[in-house]
């Protein structure tokens, strides 16, 4: 491939909550760019995952799951992040869950229609469809919903059929020089990553109602006089009753999540660190514009 044939571009990965967008991007990039849990709305920001190869550079944009049920400011901010990702993309990967179609899927498709961008339909979790014969009518019905450039069934978790997805995607990216340095994997720095890793560990271990009302803010990050990286995190909850749940009996829940987050970060960074976290109450923070700005959300509407 000659220098002029090098392809680069932005690929917005969109869909409703819990269809596997973050799992897919992590698998494609080959690094954990976005946190992943079984809880809805794990991804709350648009996050870049950069895959660089000699002949191409694909910049995947992980987006929050689209949903129209809640009118809370945080939901509106997440929806705007997804819309902004679409507006800046060359191609859209529309991820749906095999065998299912809900209002969130329809909402995403509406935005895709409005964008006019080429869109590939990615049908995820095909390994969960039993018997396999049920998949064929779903594929047929899905192909008729829009003029998709490609329809690719995959399992992001098992990394099945991802090479076919990549091969198809590259043909729709423009001939362009790399957009970012070859060593860059994401646009998010250590402060953001530390907050996300701790939030992931908390979401994995807590009750269903707590994670949505939980946020993590890094208060301090830096090296001490001995060169040890020290991270001071604030865990915000929106109900007084949730503080006790997050901390746990004798502080065990918080300690367990903190230890898991520290080990994860140490593995990523290749160096030891000290992670300190405290739980604080900020009532109704997800519907408070000032609080959302403080936590890094865009809230200009």
Question: pLDDT, tens digit, for every residue of 226-235?
Answer: 999 999 999 9
Mean pLDDT of 22-42: 92
- Identify the band that residue 74 occupies on the pLDDT scale cut at 50, 70 and 90: confident
Mean pLDDT of 55-59: 97
More confident residue, 71 or 165: 165
The per-residue pLDDT for range 109-152, each reduced to its tens digit, is: 999 999 999 999 999 999 999 988 999 999 999 999 999 999 99
- Identify the band that residue 70 occupies on the pLDDT scale cut at 50, 70 and 90: low
The pLDDT value recorded for residue 72 is 77
| Distance, CA of 30 to CA of 3 (rounded, Å) | 25
Enumerate the CATH 3.30.300.20 domain ranges in the chain, comma separated: 190-294
With 70 as the cut, is the pLDDT of residue 301 above it?
no
3-170: which CATH number, 3.30.230.70, 3.40.50.2300, 3.60.15.10, 3.40.50.300?
A: 3.40.50.300
Give the CATH number of domain 190-294.
3.30.300.20
Q: What is the C-alpha radius of gyration for the chain, rounded to an integer number of angstroms?
A: 20
Q: Beta-carbon neighbour count of residue 45 at 10 Å?
A: 18
Q: What angle do CA 84, 73, 198 make, to 5 degrees?
A: 80
Quote the percentage of the chain above a pLDDT of 70. Answer: 95
Least confident span in 46-50, 119-123, 296-300: 296-300
The per-residue pLDDT for range 210-221, each reduced to its tens digit, is: 777 899 999 999
Mean pLDDT of 88-108: 94
Enumerate the CATH 3.40.50.300 domain ranges in the chain, comma separated: 3-170
With 70 as the cut, is the pLDDT of residue 69 above it?
no
Residue 136 to residues 83, 100, 144, 237, Cα–Cα distance (Å) = 31, 13, 13, 44
User: What own/partner pairs with CB < 8 Å and gap ≥ 24 does 25-34 have?
Assistant: 25/49, 25/60, 25/62, 27/156, 27/157, 27/159, 27/162, 28/58, 28/60, 28/162, 28/165, 28/166, 29/60, 29/185, 31/185, 32/268, 33/60, 33/62, 33/185, 33/186, 34/62, 34/196
The per-residue pLDDT for range 145-187, each reduced to its tens digit, is: 999 999 999 999 999 999 999 999 999 999 999 999 999 999 9
- Identify the band that residue 47 occupies on the pLDDT scale cut at 50, 70 and 90: very high
């Amino acid at each position: 491939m000659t220098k002029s044939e090098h392809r680069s571009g932005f690929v917005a990965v969109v869909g409703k909550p819990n269809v596997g967008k973050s799992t897919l991007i992590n698998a494609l990039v080959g690094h954990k760019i976005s946190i992943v849990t079984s809880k809805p709305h794990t991804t709350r920001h648009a996050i870049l995952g950069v895959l660089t190869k000699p002949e191409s550079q694909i910049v995947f944009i992980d987006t929050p799951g689209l949903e129209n049920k809640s009118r809370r400011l945080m939901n509106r901010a997440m929806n705007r992040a997804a819309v902004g990702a679409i507006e800046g993309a060359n191609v859209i990967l529309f991820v749906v869950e095999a065998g299912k179609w809900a209002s969130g899927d329809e909402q995403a498709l509406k935005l895709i229609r409005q964008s006019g961008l080429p869109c590939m339909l990615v049908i995820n979790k095909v390994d969960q469809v039993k018997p396999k014969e049920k998949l064929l009518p779903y594929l047929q019905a899905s192909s008729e919903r829009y003029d998709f450039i490609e329809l690719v069934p995959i399992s992001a978790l098992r990394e099945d059929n991802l090479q076919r997805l990549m091969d198809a995607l590259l043909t729709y990216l423009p001939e362009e020089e790399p957009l970012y340095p070859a060593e860059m994997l994401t646009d998010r720095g250590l402060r953001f990553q530390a907050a996300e890793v701790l939030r992931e560990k908390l979401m994995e271990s807590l009750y269903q109602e707590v994670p949505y009302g939980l946020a993590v803010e890094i208060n301090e990050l830096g090296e001490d006089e001995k060169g040890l990286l020290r991270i001071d995190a604030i865990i915000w909850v929106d109900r007084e009753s949730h503080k006790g749940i997050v901390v746990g009996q004798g502080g065990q829940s918080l300690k367990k999540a903190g230890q898991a987050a520290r080990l994860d970060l140490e593995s990523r960074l290749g160096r030891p660190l000290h992670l300190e976290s405290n739980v604080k109450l900020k009532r109704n923070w997800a519907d408070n514009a000032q609080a959302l700005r403080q936590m890094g959300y865009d809230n200009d509407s």
